[in-house]
Chain A
Amino acid sequence: AYWVDSQQKRYVPVKGDPIIGIVTAKAGDIFKVDVGGSEQASLSYLAFEGATKRNRPNVQVGDLVYGQFIVANKDMEPEMVCIDSSGRANGMGIIGHEGLLFKVSLGLIRKLLAPNCEIIQELGQLYPFEIVLGMNGRIWVKAKTVQQTLIVANILEACEHMTSEQRKQALAKLSES
Chain B
Amino acid sequence: MNGGLGCSQFMQRGLDSETKKQLEEEEKKIISEEHWYLDLPELKEKESFIIEERSFMPCEDLLYGRMSFKGFNPEIEKLMIQMNSRYKKEEIEADDKMEADVSDEEMARRYESLVGTIGKKFLKKRDRHELQDEDEDENSNLRPSNVKKMFLKPQD
Contacts and interface: CB of A to CB of B under 8 A. Distances in A.
A131 to B, nearest CB: 5
Contact of B64 (A1, A91, A134): A91
Nearest to A73: B54
Nearest to B69: A124
A127 B69 CA distance: 8
A171 interface: no
Nearest to B79: A91
A129 B72 contact: yes
A170 interface: no
B68 interface: yes
* Size category, B interface: 20 to 34
Contact of A123 (B66, B69, B73): B69
B66 A132 contact: yes
B83 A113 contact: no
A124 B76 CA distance: 14
Contacts of B142: none
Interface in A38-83: 66
Contact of A15 (B54, B64, B67, B72): B54
Contacts of A134: 65
Contact of B66 (A14, A15, A91, A120): A91
B59 A3 contact: yes
B87 to A, nearest CB: 9
A14 B69 contact: no
Nearest to B75: A91
B41 interface: no
A110 interface: yes
Contact of B69 (A90, A91, A128): A128
A3 B52 CA distance: 10
Contacts of A90: 79, 83
B106 interface: no
A115 B66 CA distance: 14
Interface string A89-130: 011000000000000000000100111010010011101111
A94 B28 CA distance: 65
A16 B55 contact: yes
Contacts of A144: 72
Q: Shortest 6 CB-CB distances between A and B: which pairs?
A: A128-B70, A124-B69, A113-B62, A130-B68, A128-B72, A133-B65
21 contacts: A3-B53, A3-B60, A16-B57, A90-B79, A91-B76, A110-B56, A113-B60, A114-B60, A114-B61, A114-B62, A115-B61, A123-B69, A124-B69, A128-B69, A129-B70, A130-B72, A130-B76, A131-B68, A132-B66, A142-B72, A144-B72
Interface of B: 53-73, 76, 79, 83
